[in-house]
Amino acid sequence: MTTEYWTCIGVDSNVPWPIKETKVTFDGYEFILRPETETLAPSIAFEHGSKGIDPDDALTISRRFMSSLSWVSKQGLRETTLAGGSKPIYIGKGQINRTRTNHFDPAYLPVLTERKPLLALALYRDALSTNNIAYQFLGLSRILNIISNSPYEQKKWINDNLDKIIDSEVLKIVGQIKNGSKSVGEHIYNSGRCAVAHAYSEPIVDPDDSKDIRRMHDELPLIKALAEIFIEHELNVKSQSTVSREHLYELAGFKDAISESIFKEILSKTSRRVKPSEIDITFTIGLRSKPVYCGLSKMTILESNMKNSILSLALSTDDKSVQIWIGLDFANEKLIYDPCNGMKFFDRHTNESLVAIKSFIQFKRDLFLNGCFEVRNAENNEILGYTNAYIPTVEIDTLAIEKIIFHIDDLLIHGR
């Protein structure tokens, strides 16, 4: 019989850390991220005993999660203290956590299985988590070592991939090295990687020499950019910026939920009405990182049609008090919604109708306050798709919205 056992990790993090306990799912495992307080360090708690996972494997899984989080945020995440037991032990105060947030939402965390990508993200997190500039440089250089053990191949790869750098400040560093009549690959490998790793022959980085450390500091963004290019282009681990640019997350879950035959029809630009029974899904409409709006938790398809690679769905509550239109634009990977003209409510003069309308108005208020529109499968709570934050183009009278909510509460308490 397996019993509860927790692994708890105190962290020193440059990753923006939640200010309240936050559950995050990674690779099917649930982690609790706990905030920093006056007496407690920020920490991660992982219950694994009931799942039959021993502490060593649990620590590896936790570190994979930390490395994935470090990669998408491009920040260091260092473990300071380890503890374990039958309860989720809190970690006493250590170093100060520098960055906190009340909007913690790691929407994208790459789950990897192959050895080289896993190693690369581990090295990336490890490098960014040290305070020593020279060892940061060396740690990031080790990622390029995954290419080959050959110095020639590593130098060649650097020179062949400089055109992928887009950051203007990093390009200035490249220009400065080239102006010194040096091959960038030769310079990074010999005067960077080897100068830190070895102490037998020149060039050598002297930890006490301010000029050496200043040069390492100035060139650190270049080796960081090269390591990130390598991870993304050679090991196929997408960065957060690439994921945001592709916005595949807007429709990712729908592609699995909709039948293959319907999906093929949509992509072939078939035009026809679609029976609700052809898309057997109950929907929850909400916003990312917000509690469920109870009146919008079980919406069904009122009507649907496909045209020009867009599947249009008119969703409704059971009593049709709230109706919301969404469009699934598979050609452009966009989840479409219209908060002004594509959402409406009808008072059916019942308490159930008022509850649904109140939920709807609260939802719209939060959406107008830069909420991220989200659609879930109501049966299993899996995310079907979500968008970036809504940016209003007109002034929103939130005070008027609050008055409507107050009025509905009054009706629910005292009757009409």
Q: Check residue 131 and give its pLDDT.
A: 84
Say which residue, 91 or 375, is predicted with more confidence.
375
Banded model confidence at residue 289, pLDDT cuts 50, 70, 90: confident
Q: Check residue 97 and give its pLDDT.
A: 53
Mean pLDDT of 314-325: 95
User: Mind listing the pLDDT tens digit for each residue in 398-411?
Assistant: 778 888 777 887 77
pLDDT at residue 157 tops 60:
yes
Banded model confidence at residue 397, pLDDT cuts 50, 70, 90: confident
Mean pLDDT of 32-40: 92
Mean pLDDT of 35-56: 93
User: Mind listing the pLDDT tens digit for each residue in 162-175?
Assistant: 999 999 999 999 99
Mean pLDDT of 334-354: 92
* Per-residue CA distances from 355 to 64, 222, 283, 289, 318 (Å): 43, 55, 18, 21, 12
pLDDT at residue 98 tops 80:
no
* Chain mean pLDDT for the chain: 90
User: Mind listing the pLDDT tens digit for each residue in 236-259?
Assistant: 999 988 988 888 899 999 998 999
Cα maximum dimension of the chain: 88
Q: Check residue 95 and give its pLDDT.
A: 52
Q: Check residue 53 and give its pLDDT.
A: 94
Q: Check residue 2 and give its pLDDT.
A: 67
* Per-residue CA distances from 223 to 13, 188, 268 (Å): 21, 8, 45
User: Mind listing the pLDDT tens digit for each residue in 200-248?
Assistant: 888 888 888 888 888 999 999 999 999 999 999 999 999 988 988 888 8
Mean pLDDT of 294-315: 95
Question: DSSP of 177-244, one letter per residue?
Answer: HHHTT--HHHHIIIIIIIHHH--SSSS---TT-HHHHHHHHHHHHHHHHHHHHIIIIIS----HHHHH
